[in-house]
A and B are shown apart, each in its own frame.
Chain A
Amino acid sequence: DAGVIQSPRHEVTEMGQEVTLRCKPISGHDYLFWYRQTMMRGLELLIYFNNNVPIDDSGMPEDRFSAKMPNASFSTLKIQPSEPRDSAVYFCASSPRGSAYSNQPQHFGDGTRLSIL
C-alpha cells in the first residue's frame, strides 16, 4: 500500500508569497494530522482532522496559516503571506479509526522542507 504522500518535497520561496503544501493520506484512514518540525521547537501538532472535519487547530500559529480537507483523500496547508520564521519541515500523518478507548498508530509522510527567503 502507498503510504502518506506529501508534495512538494522541497519548497523555496520569497517572503510574502503564498505557499501551499499538499497531503494524500493512506486510503481508509479517518484521521489526518499536520505537524511542523524545527530545531528550536521540535515536532509540533498544528491541526488534525477527523472524517475531513477539523477537530483541533489550537496549534496553528496564526491567521496566516490555514488548512483544509475537502475530501478523504486530500488535504492542504496554506501559508499566506509566508515569513522566514515559517521555514521548517512540515509533516502530514494519518491514522485509522480506533475504538473508543484505543487509537491506531500514526503514519507519517516524508515531509515538505520549506525555506522562506
Chain B
Amino acid sequence: GIQVEQSPPDLILQEGANSTLRCNFSDSVNNLQWFHQNPWGQLINLFYIPSGTKQNGRLSATTVATERYSLLYISSSQTTDSGVYFCAVLKFPGNQFYFGTGTSLTVIP
C-alpha cells in the first residue's frame, strides 16, 4: 500500500495564528482528500485536491503531485478549527483510500 505521512503530529495554536499542515505520500496518486475530524468524531470533507490549489474561506490546499506532497493552510485560526486533520490518498486501479495518521490541532483562545 501507499505510505502517507503527516506532519506535525500535534499542533497548538493561539487563536488568530496561521498554520501549515503537510502530507507526504510514497507513490503517485490519482486522488487526495483532506478531512477534518471534529471533537464529536465527525469526518468532514475539506478538499478534494489531486493536484493544484483550492481555497475555501480561511482554508486552502495545494497538492504538488509530481513531488508527492500536499499542504493544508489554515489562516486566522479559530477554536472551532480544533480537531484532527487527515490526508487520504488513492491510486488506481484500486479504490482504497490510504489515510495518514493525522495532525491533531488545538486552537486556544
Contact = CB atoms under 8 A, between A and B. Distances in A.
B25 interface: no
A81 B101 CA distance: 29
Contact of A103 (B40, B42, B95, B99): B95
Interface residues of B, number: 23
Secondary structure dominating the interface of A:
strand
Given A43-B86, A43-B99, A56-B94, A105 B43 contact: no
A44 to B, nearest CB: 8
A107 B95 contact: no
A110 interface: yes
B41 to A, nearest CB: 6
Given A43-B86, A48-B96, A56-B96, A103 B30 contact: yes
Interface residues on A, range: 20 to 34
A103 B29 CA distance: 11
Interface in A83-117: 89, 91, 93, 101-108, 110-111, 113
Contacts of B96: 45, 48, 56, 59
A101 B33 CA distance: 16
Interface in B28-68: 30-31, 33, 35, 40-45, 48, 50
B102 A105 contact: no
